[in-house]
Structure 1
Amino acid sequence: MPVLALMFNALVWGLSWWPFRQFSEAGLHPLWTTVTLYILSLLVISLSQWRAWREFLSTPTLWMIMLAAGVTNTAFNWGVALGDVVRVVLLFYLMPLWAVLLARLILGERLTALAGLRMALALGGAAFVLAPEGGGLPWPSSLADGLGLLGGFTFALNNVMLRREAHRGAHARALAMFSGGVLVAGLSASLMAGAGLVSWPSLPGPIWLLPLVGMAVLFFLSNLSLQYGAGRLPANVTAIVMLTEVPVAAISAIWLGGGHLDLKTGVGGACILAAALLATLERHKNASAATIES
């Protein structure tokens, strides 16, 4: 059941690009859709665990988690709705590269040989994915590419900060993440709408509220599934199962016309996924060593 729960979470996120695009074409920008999706989760935890607000509001480090989680969701959801889904998802999963650097900076973790290898793999994979067709420096070629990179970086920051603040209440941490999805996306959308860069939220008719509410429920259930599965499996197993999001997103995007996979993107993607798998191996090795020492 825990594995199935994690696979459900990965399935929801891997396929999320398609409804984001449908709502965008109907007039609801991905940022407004993100706000709507996280309002439900924020309301549920606020009503059921209202005491968590006190800890959240009095803990500045949780505000950092709120910001990181909010930027992660804003960047990823906007990126997959805007650009080539395969590229965005692969660039997002450069997260292990950023995690090594941030863990060193924030947690003081030492750099190991495996960490150096996965950094090299991730950088090499990114160079393949971002390399222009006619040659030149590997650099984001579109806003979607940049959003994929930004989302991966803030996802790594979110995970490192969650490890740093693991002693805080689980509900306060969850509140920080859900409120980030609402506040960061909502503020970004409002500022851009005020400047005339995006439209204010609108849908063709009330019937569109049904799939929107359905999607919000799916996201809420996928988050519960993540918490259920991650709380019952070793961290390295959780990380490996969560990587199924990549092939789900890639296959669905290629099938439904949301992206394409050429040779250099395939090679780069293989390097990036190898770096992510190495991260799980290192985590398993460290956990085993800690068990032996204890």
Structure 2
Amino acid sequence: MRSHLPVIILFGASILWGLTWLPLKHINALGIDGVTLTFLVYGLLALVLTPLLLVQFSTWRMHTKAMLLILILGGGANLAFTYALVNGEVIRVMVLFYLLPVWGVLGGKFFLKEEIDRWRWLGASLAVFGAFFILGGFEALDAPPSWIDLIALLSGFFFAMNNLVFRAAQAVPVGSKITVMFYGCFALAGLLLIGGVEQLPQVVSGDAWLALALYSLFWLLIANIGSQWAVTHMEAGRSSIIIIMELITAVISAMLIAHETMIPIEMAGGVMILTAAFIEAARTKDDEIPETTI
């Protein structure tokens, strides 16, 4: 049972991530918009994990460059992802977010100087064509993608770049990296609110505060800790395949609960992106962790 525990925990955490749109949409329906929701949720998480960041200060203080990159990239990824899920169609946002094979290949080649084999290029190509179909195929050339589409794409790009920094900064404890990522999301959302991008709600009900606190301190915290703990206790390729359950869960739940649908060309694009994700996961190896000084 002990050997199967990481698999069970990662499977559960991936399902939580795939269903995260449910509490987000619920909290939004209670009167808290995307940027404000993100500011409050990640502010609570950052506050709770601050003691861990302080305890580990002596370990990460020599890696401020990596921490700054995680603050910006990780914070930006979570902000964009949350905002896109709150305001967009769940299936469309999740599928566009999962263009990770493209960003992973490009980032690995140009920033980490990784050797890219033909399978990874095939995965990246499938993901690109899949996104093209999701965005409407050749009809997408008649008009630019929607701003939610662009935010979903941006969230996936930031997430992939943040993963590269996570992998590169092996000397920094995982807990510190997660906490500074939460702080980044909180800070970036705060800057947008100061800039007047979104109006703060005049009145927030007790139900909204309760839902927000439960989502932040239980749902997100459990999903983050579960996924991070599990991937450090199992093979990288195996964990990458299980994590794809997040996308599958999101698509199926959105169809069943939100009654979202996909036209045939979008389905074809989604299958291509899912195939690309499996290709990327299948060739992931544990020894693909570079040494770095950041």
- Normalised by the length of structure 2, the TM-score is 0.88
In structure 2, C-alpha distance between the alignment counterparts of 1:238 and 1:270, rounded to whole Å: 20
Counterpart for residue 190 of structure 1: 194
Matched, 1:61 2:62: no
Cα root mean square deviation, aligned: 2.2
How big is the shift at 1:169? 2.9
Matched-pair contact (CA < 8 Å) for 1:56–1:172:
no
1:110 is aligned to 2:115? yes
Report the Cα distance in structure 2 between the residues aligned to 1:39 and 1:255, rounded to whole angstroms: 32
The answer for the alignment partner of 2:29 in structure 1 is 25
Distance 2:105 2:61 in 1: 27
User: What do residues 172-196 of structure 1 show as CA deviations (whole Å, max 9, x unaligned)?
Assistant: 32222221221122222332xx2xx
What residue is the counterpart of 1:39 in the other structure?
43
Residue 292 of structure 2 corresponds to: none
What is the match of residue 163 of structure 1? Answer: 167
Could you tell me which residue of structure 1 aligns to residue 205 of structure 2?
A: 205
- The CA distance in 2 between the partners of 1:226 and 1:245, in whole Å, is 11
1:27–1:202 CA contact under 8 A, matched in 2: no
Q: Kindly, what percent of the aligned residue pairs are identical?
A: 28
- Give the SS at the match of 1:50: helix
Rounded to whole Å, the distance in 1 between the matches of 2:7 and 2:224 is: 14
Partners of 2:161 and 2:262 lie apart in 1 by 28
Distance in 2 separating the partners of 1:237 and 1:51: 32
Change (3 A) 1:124 1:58: closer
* Cα offsets for 1:256-281 (capped at 9, x unmatched): 33632221111111111111111112
Correspondence 1:276 to 2:277: yes
Tell me the distance in 2 between the aligned counterparts of 1:20 and 1:72. 16
- The equivalences for 1:104-253 within 5 A come to 104-131=109-136, 135-137=139-141, 141-191=145-195, 194=196, 197-216=197-216, 217-253=218-254
Q: Secondary structure at the match of 1:141?
A: coil
Quote the Cα distance in structure 1 between the aligned partners of 2:48 and 2:143.
41
Aligned 8 A contact 1:34 1:185 in 2? yes
Deviation at 1:139, TM superposition (A): 7.0
Paired residue type of 2:70: I
Distance 2:228 2:98 in 1: 20
Higher alpha-carbon deviation: 33-42 or 270-279: 33-42
Q: Report Cα offsets for 1:237-272 as digits up to 9, x if no partner.
A: 111111111121112212233632221111111111
The alpha-carbon deviation at position 56 of structure 1 amounts to 5.0
Q: Distance in 1 between matches of 2:203 and 2:270?
A: 36
- For the residues of structure 2 that align with 1:66 and 1:57, how far apart are their CA atoms? 15
- Distance, in Å, in 1 between the alignment partners of 2:93 and 2:143 is 13
So what's the TM-score if we normalise by structure 1? 0.88
Q: Aligned equivalents of 1:86 and 1:99: distance in 2?
A: 21
The residue type equivalent to 1:161 in the other structure is V
Deviation at 1:211, TM superposition (A): 1.4
* Number of equivalent positions: 282
For the 8 Å contact 1:26–1:203, the answer to whether it is kept is no
Residues 53 and 175, structure 1, Cα contact 8 Å, conserved in 2: no
Could you tell me whether the CA contact under 8 Å between 2:240 and 2:284 is conserved in 1?
Answer: no
Contact 2:241–2:282 (CA under 8 A) maintained in structure 1: no
Equivalent residue letter for 2:284:
R
**Matching residue of 1:292:** none
Cα 1:6–1:224 change in 2 (3 A) is same
Question: Which position in structure 1 is the counterpart of 2:13?
Answer: 9
Amino acid at match of 2:186: V
| Other structure's SS at 2:247 match | helix
**Structure 2 contact 18–249 (Cα < 8 Å) conserved:** yes
Q: Which moved more, 1:145-154 or 1:38-47?
A: 38-47
In structure 1, distance between residues paired with 2:259 and 2:148: 13
